[in-house]
Amino acid sequence: MKQLLKTLTETFSPSGYEDEIRKVILNEVKLLADEVRVDALGNLIVRKKPTNGTKAPKKIMIAAHMDEIGVMVTHVDDNGFVRFTGIGGVYPRNLVGGHVRFANGVSGVIGLEPTSSPSDVPALNKMFVDVGATSKKNCPVKTGDVAGFERSFLDLGDRLVAKSMDDRIGCLVAIEALRELKSTPHDVYFVFTTQEEIGTHGAQTSAYGIDPDLGFSIDVTGWGDTPGQKDFDVALGKGPAIKIRDGGMLSDPRIVEWMIRTAEKAKIPYQREVLLGGTTDARAMQLVRGGVPVGCVSIPCRYVHTPAEMVDFNDVKNAVKLITAMLSNSVSI
The one-letter code for the residue type at 147 is A
Nearest distance, CB of residue 122 and Zn ion, angstroms = 26
Closest CA to 66 of 20, 29, 35: 20
* SS3 per-residue string spanning 183-237: CCCCEEEEEEECCCCCCCHHHHHHHHHHCCCEEEEEEEECCCCCCCCCCCCCCCC
In angstroms, rounded to a whole number, what is the distance separating the alpha carbons of residues 25 and 239? 25
Which positions from 22 through 61 interact with Zn ion, judged by CB under 5 A? none
Question: Are the C-beta atoms of residues 195 and 41 closer than 8 Å to each other?
Answer: yes
User: Which C-beta is closer to Zn ion: that of 205 or that of 298?
Assistant: 298
Residues in the interface with Zn ion (CB under 5 A) total 3
Q: 150 in helix, strand or coil?
A: strand
In angstroms, rounded to a whole number, what is the distance separating the alpha carbons of residues 330 and 213? 13
Binding site for Co ion (CB under 5 A): 166
Instruction: Candidates 18, 166, 246, 273: give the one binding Zn ion (CB under 5 A).
Output: 166
User: Which C-beta is closer to Co ion: that of 166 or that of 281?
Assistant: 166
For residue 171, what is the enclosing H or E element?
A: helix 165-180
User: Which C-beta is closer to Zn ion: that of 94 or that of 328?
Assistant: 94
Catalytic residue among 18, 28, 196, 309: 196
Question: Interacting stretch for Zn ion, rule CB under 5 A, among 45-53, 79-87, 161-169, 316-324?
Answer: 161-169
Beta strands in the chain (DSSP E): 35-38, 44-48, 59-65, 70-76, 82-87, 99-102, 107-112, 127-130, 146-150, 154-155, 159-162, 187-193, 214-221, 241-246, 249-250, 271-274, 294-300, 309-312
219 binds Zn ion (CB under 5 A): yes
Phi, psi of 308 (to 5 degrees): -135, 65
273 binds Zn ion (CB under 5 A): no
Question: Interacting stretch for Zn ion, rule CB under 5 A, among 69-77, 93-101, 219-227, 260-268?
Answer: 219-227
User: Which C-beta is closer to Co ion: that of 50 or that of 307?
Assistant: 307
With CB cut-offs between 5 and 8 Å by kind, which of Co ion, Zn ion, none does residue 219 bind? Zn ion
252 binds Zn ion (CB under 5 A): no
Nearest distance, CB of residue 138 and Co ion, angstroms = 35
For 82, 159, 304, the CA distances from 162, given in Å and listed in that order, are 25, 10, 10
Nearest distance, CB of residue 121 and Co ion, angstroms = 20
Whether 196 is catalytic: yes
For residue 327, what is the enclosing H or E element?
A: helix 313-328
User: Which C-beta is closer to Zn ion: that of 82 or that of 284?
Assistant: 284
User: Which C-beta is closer to Co ion: that of 72 or that of 133?
Assistant: 72
**Shortest Cβ contact with Zn ion: which residue?**
167
Nearest distance, CB of residue 48 and Co ion, angstroms = 26
Nearest distance, CB of residue 91 and Zn ion, angstroms = 15
- Catalytic residue numbers, as ranges: 196
Q: Which residues bind Zn ion (CB under 5 A)?
A: 166-167, 219
